[in-house]
Chain A
């Protein structure tokens, strides 16, 4: 590959992101374009409303958007935006620029961590019953009664909670998902 060109110079931290995330220069440019498109007021950063605008019909859209923001922050800049999206590259393509191939297990772990944090809003390392109920309520809306919701949550915790502390910690979460082909189910494929 030739040396990186000035087209990447328009992208903030372009060089660094190229190394870190394994996105190609073309992908980074496209993502930057998309970022600028979502950034309607041209501030150079996105707020949650800008991202939510694209997630019209997703029941847990607001929650997923929340995962882009660091705790306490209200805006996300382009490098952080790309770093979050980098979690969702298919594993086999995950090669950083200096040729070091990251552990597929590491990539799988990061995807799991992302999903875990969707449930674990308060980031205390455990999915409590309340947190699970909140997610379920969002995914199901008004389509189920309170009792049905409680049964669903109860069953889920019973199955996953191995140490009987009435919450699901990250290890338990990982264990219950060990058979799922996460790479396939939680990867976004870019057109070449």
Chain B
């Protein structure tokens, strides 16, 4: 590496000892603790400072807007139209006919009935309950990220200056340093002097390679150890270190609640799904076995390396469809007390963290203890939701690493077991309700797979059935009188 030292010396001399000291501090305060796992309290103050800045910026924008006699464009996360809560089809049609002066609700068709379906359709076109769960949550206060601002014209000079400072810090300091976590010290000196755009692209690529390389090597090496106890102990340490580095790379500030309910080796941990990073957030605190399809290429290599030192459940592509095989492997894994709890996300798809969608019943059929966990992200610091139709994985990671921080709370809920006479679906819904209640999320019956597919016709048929009862009365073979 001799060819590096000459430019390093030159540039070091140019920038002076200041950079050196600062970089050493950062390295000392962030990287070393991450490797060995002891926390530092600065994150709390970082969060508090950021929050007060965000409130100040929104105040500034409101003042500016008031000057111009306008309303600041507010996002209504609860919808933009008034919806009558819990009114059934029957009640609404009854109201409709009542207002038309029809006598009682006798079984008949009215031309006016179409108004009900019409209004419902328009309400759904303007604002429906499902599709808005698949896009990022909009914020009330601006958090100095361009991506969440809709009031550009109300930015004063002060705010502009603050925003520029924010960009410099996020892209110039936080992003590269997050990427720098796993690199050695003298390389840090070299890279801080390079131009910004080359800087973080180059950084991330080299970091990705070195980081993954490190993990694969360590994991494989540990996997070679014959003694099971030592191997398990070391592999846990390697895994935890890897996840901790990732979390520090994203500046993840995670608060774990109710740690006494942490999952034990005899069950399955289920949680709501918002981002691909969910697994890392949970695995930062406890060792889990992951379940998934075996991929090719780099991801496959990582998966295989992980499997060498710790028992994860990876499936070949063809095996994924075979539900019985999946269930059997899960059951076997759970029965073995020495293996870590399995981590599963029953929603199947990423949702935007305002609601919990339908749980797939597969994991609830196994019959073991379920350890629910609720994950709630604080959207003010950076939106963790992965909108897979808008961004690919790489674009998503870039956005993540250039946000302020990923702040979230994880609650471990008390373990749940299937009750007598409860089927898998009911059990799944019970767990889902508990997670939604703890995380402050809306509990929905809809399938997260609706992101990509249309709703099944069963819902439409339900509506048709309800309506037919109104037209024909509740008797099955009711014949309409001849007119």
Question: Which residues of A line the B interface, CB within 8 A?
Answer: 1-2, 5-7, 26-27, 29-31, 34, 37-38, 40, 51-61, 64-65, 85, 88, 114-115, 118-119, 135-136, 139-144, 148, 151-152, 154-156, 158-160, 168, 173, 176-177, 179-182, 184-191
Contact = CB atoms under 8 A, between A and B. Distances in A.
Chain B interface size band reads 35 or more
B454 A53 contact: yes
Given A26-B73, A180-B96, A185-B96, 13 more contacts: A58-B121, A58-B463, A61-B460, A88-B119, A115-B115, A140-B467, A143-B461, A143-B468, A155-B109, A179-B99, A179-B101, A185-B116, A190-B81
Contacts of A40: 389
A139 B465 CA distance: 9
B119 A60 contact: no
Contacts, number: 179
Contact of B124 (A1, A26, A58, A60): A58
Given A37-B131, A180-B100, A189 B73 contact: no
A64 B73 contact: no
Contacts of A37: 131-132, 135
B109 A188 contact: no
| Interface residue SS majority, chain A | helix
B323 to A, nearest CB: 26
Contact of A55 (B113, B125, B153): B125
B358 to A, nearest CB: 14
Contact of B131 (A53, A142, A191): A53
B461 A141 contact: yes
B437 interface: no
B90 interface: no
B162 interface: no
Given A55-B125, A115-B115, A189-B82, A140 B70 contact: no
Contacts of B131: 37-38, 53-54
B367 to A, nearest CB: 33
B108 interface: yes
Interface in B20-70: 68-70
B80 to A, nearest CB: 5
B112 interface: yes
Nearest to B101: A179
B460 to A, nearest CB: 5
A139 B464 contact: yes
B76 interface: yes
A115 B121 CA distance: 13
14 contacts: A34-B125, A52-B454, A57-B463, A59-B117, A60-B117, A64-B121, A64-B122, A65-B121, A141-B460, A144-B468, A177-B111, A177-B112, A187-B119, A191-B76
